[in-house]
């Protein structure tokens, strides 16, 4: 019997045309296009089209796709009532997981998995997810819900709904880039979860719900919240070095550093670092950025030789804070972006499906006699 591979590291479990990663060289491509090109020139909506269709759209196609997305911003009315009935102290990731699942309750044909049906349902989930999050945040703050503005793109509309006023162009673009950078990333844990569920020919809502549950974990999407907690623990830029070195001496993990795949600088972190610096300057958070940068310098001297560099979570924490997101909204925004990739992988999986059914290496005893209850 083949030896078990813990964590399935190095095991190839699927073929994909969606995203390519070279962890040694620090390369990430979506359908062959370097992530830096998309972060610089594209929009989140165009990136979603690219992933779902494995090509860039024409101008007319992009316009039509954007119109379809905006037409689906508003969730079903009964789902909005469900949001209003939720406990105000509920954790937003649990809200997102529950309400993504609940979308299936208002779909008259939730189990359809042909390609047109999958795309229609994916589009609804993609468009609704930011609205659901904004509605819940307003609800828990005791504020009236701000309805979507269909003249705005996903990123700008979300910030408008969250705060009740239009964001600055810099903030809207920063969130748009964050959504692009989070849109897909190979066969990561949550994407694998989505493909595994889809491989049973289950519905897309189940697959997206399972993926959301996976992303919530602190070893996956929840790491960006851990970065912000760490930054808040450090009182000043001058205190950063001592704090980091003490944690390293105790072999504690420094949140936002290191990656299972990347042994060089995470290309997503490269762009988030630039965004974070500009946003910090624009919003009066220079101290937060300088603290982040000082941590990076200390880590570079201490562990870069071991291939440990900032990952996407490190500077996304500063970026999200600067555009006004509360700490517990960081990971739900990751969900809003990653629905693009999860949906693309579900579509890809079902186009050439085979049920995932790996083996397990049994390491327990054999031939154990059953002991009657009265003798135990």
Cβ neighbours of 71 (radius 10 Å): 12
CB within 8 Å of 262: residues ≥ 6 apart: 21, 23, 26, 307, 309, 311
Catalytic residue among 184, 293, 313, 321: 313
Question: CA-to-CA distance for 365 and 279, rounded, in angstroms?
Answer: 58
DSSP state at residue 296? H
Catalytic residue among 259, 271, 293, 321: 259
Q: Spell out a b/e string for 320-352, using b for 16 or more CB atoms within 10 Å of the CB, else e.
A: bbbbebebebbbbbbbbbbbbbbbbbbbbbbee
Q: Catalytic: 271?
A: no
State residue 19 phi and psi, 5-degree precision. Answer: -140, 145
Rounded to 10 degrees, what is the CA torsion of 129, 131, 132, 136? 140
Catalytic residue among 22, 149, 220, 328: 220
Q: Catalytic: 94?
A: no
Question: CA-to-CA distance for 120 and 126, rounded, in angstroms?
Answer: 10
341 near 184, Cβ under 8 Å? yes
How many residues comprise the chain?
A: 376
Q: Catalytic: 313?
A: yes
Q: Give the residue carrying structure tokens 């000082």.
A: 294
Q: Which residues are catalytic?
A: 220, 259, 313
């Amino acid at each position: 019997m083949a030896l078990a591979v813990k964590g399935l590291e190095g095991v190839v479990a699927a073929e994909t045309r969606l995203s390519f990663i070279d962890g040694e060289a620090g390369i990430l491509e979506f359908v062959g296009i370097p992530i830096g090109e998309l972060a610089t020139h594209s929009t989140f909506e165009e990136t979603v089209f690219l992933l779902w269709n494995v090509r860039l759209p024409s101008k007319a196609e992009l316009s039509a796709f954007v119109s379809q997305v905006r037409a689906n911003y508003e969730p079903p009315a009964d789902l909005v009532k469900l949001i209003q009935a939720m406990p105000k102290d509920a954790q937003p990731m649990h809200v997102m997981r529950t309400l993504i699942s609940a979308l299936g309750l208002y779909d008259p044909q939730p189990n359809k998995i042909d390609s047109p049906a999958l795309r229609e349902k994916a589009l609804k989930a993609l468009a609704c997810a930011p609205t659901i999050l904004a509605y819940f945040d307003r609800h828990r703050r005791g504020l009236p819900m701000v309805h979507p503005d269909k003249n705005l793109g996903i990123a700008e509309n979300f910030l408008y709904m969250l705060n009740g006023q239009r964001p600055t162009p810099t903030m809207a673009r920063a969130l748009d880039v964050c959504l692009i950078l989070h849109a897909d990333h190979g066969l990561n844990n949550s994407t694998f979860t989505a493909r595994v569920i889809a491989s049973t020919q289950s519905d897309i809502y189940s697959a997206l719900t399972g993926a959301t549950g996976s992303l919530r974990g602190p070893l996956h999407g929840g790491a960006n919240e851990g970065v912000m907690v760490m930054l808040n623990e450090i009182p000043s830029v001058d205190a950063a070095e001592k704090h980091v070195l003490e944690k390293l001496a105790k072999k504690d993990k420094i949140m936002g550093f290191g990656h299972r795949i990347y042994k060089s600088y995470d290309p997503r972190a490269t762009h988030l670092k630039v965004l974070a610096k500009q946003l910090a300057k624009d919003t009066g958070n220079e101290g937060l950025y300088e603290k982040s940068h000082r941590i990076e310098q200390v880590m570079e001297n201490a562990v870069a030789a071991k291939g440990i560099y900032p990952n996407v979570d490190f500077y996304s924490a500063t970026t999200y804070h600067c555009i006004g997101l509360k700490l517990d909204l960081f990971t739900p925004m990751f969900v809003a972006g990653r629905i693009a990739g999860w949906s693309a992988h579900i579509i890809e999986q079902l186009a050439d499906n085979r049920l995932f059914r790996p083996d397990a290496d049994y390491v327990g005893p054999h031939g154990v006699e059953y002991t009657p209850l009265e003798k135990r």
